[in-house]
A and B are shown apart, each in its own frame.
Chain A
Amino acid sequence: MLDTVIHIALFCLALSMIGLIYRVIKGPSIPDRVIALDAIGINLIAIIALISIVLKTNAFLEVILLLGILAFIGTVAFSKYLEKGVIFERERDR
């Protein structure tokens, strides 16, 4: 029973990732692509959680937190680049 539910959920997540990949390729502006990549990262977290239920292991739980942190850092870096043109400022204007 639980196995069937997990497989259906994995199928739905794969479908939504296909939609997001469509947005990454087609997206008219760069921010569309950044948001789609962020959402792909979150979907990947959900897929890893479901796979770790299927494989009956808790060895992947670090990967979930790691992907959350990496998706956050990547999105913040992209947004700063889009807004200011640089990622690391040498000296902030005060």
Chain B
Amino acid sequence: MRTHNNVILETMIRLVLFIIILFSVYIFFAGHYYPGGGFIGGLMTAGAIVLMLIAYDIKTVSIILPFNYRIMTGIGLLFAIGTSAGAIFFNVPFLTHAFGHIVLPVLGDISLHTATLFDLGVYLVVVGVTMTIIQTIGEDE
């Protein structure tokens, strides 16, 4: 039998969570031209997951989001090292980034930059490290 009843919080979380995650994704993609970037975007995504952990519990959240955050940190580091080491194969120094305008069928003319992939690595590392710290402390008795 459930002794605690927090209907207001759980209903609120369902609405607010999408706004927070959308905001974090916006701040991640706007990082090239406006304030923001991978670090603060990753922290906001981790904040959304923390809000979910507060409203539900650790077991439910691990069912909703079945990620191993240590592997996520490793994938983020692989993205960072991959985009920086990829420059070596084009006879340019390490960490040289390239960009170009590409015409896609629906989106039209967009400028793609490999620094975005590096930023994606930062994003994954920040989410992974933050959630590893919080889950490790939270599961401690």
Contacts and interface: CB of A to CB of B under 8 A. Distances in A.
Contacts of B134: 88
Interface string B35-48: 11000100010010
A82 to B, nearest CB: 13
Determine the main DSSP class of B at the interface with A.
Answer: helix
A55 B3 CA distance: 52
Contacts, number: 59
Contacts of B138: 87-88, 90
A93 B4 contact: yes
A76 B54 contact: yes
Interface residues of B, number: 29
A88 B54 contact: yes
B53 interface: yes
A43 B44 CA distance: 21
Nearest to A84: B4
A80 B3 CA distance: 14
Interface string A46-63: 000000000000010010
15 contacts: A66-B44, A70-B47, A73-B51, A73-B54, A76-B54, A76-B55, A80-B54, A88-B57, A88-B134, A89-B57, A90-B58, A91-B59, A92-B2, A92-B56, A92-B60
Given A62-B36, A76-B9, A88-B138, 6 more contacts: A69-B44, A73-B51, A89-B57, A89-B58, A91-B57, A92-B60
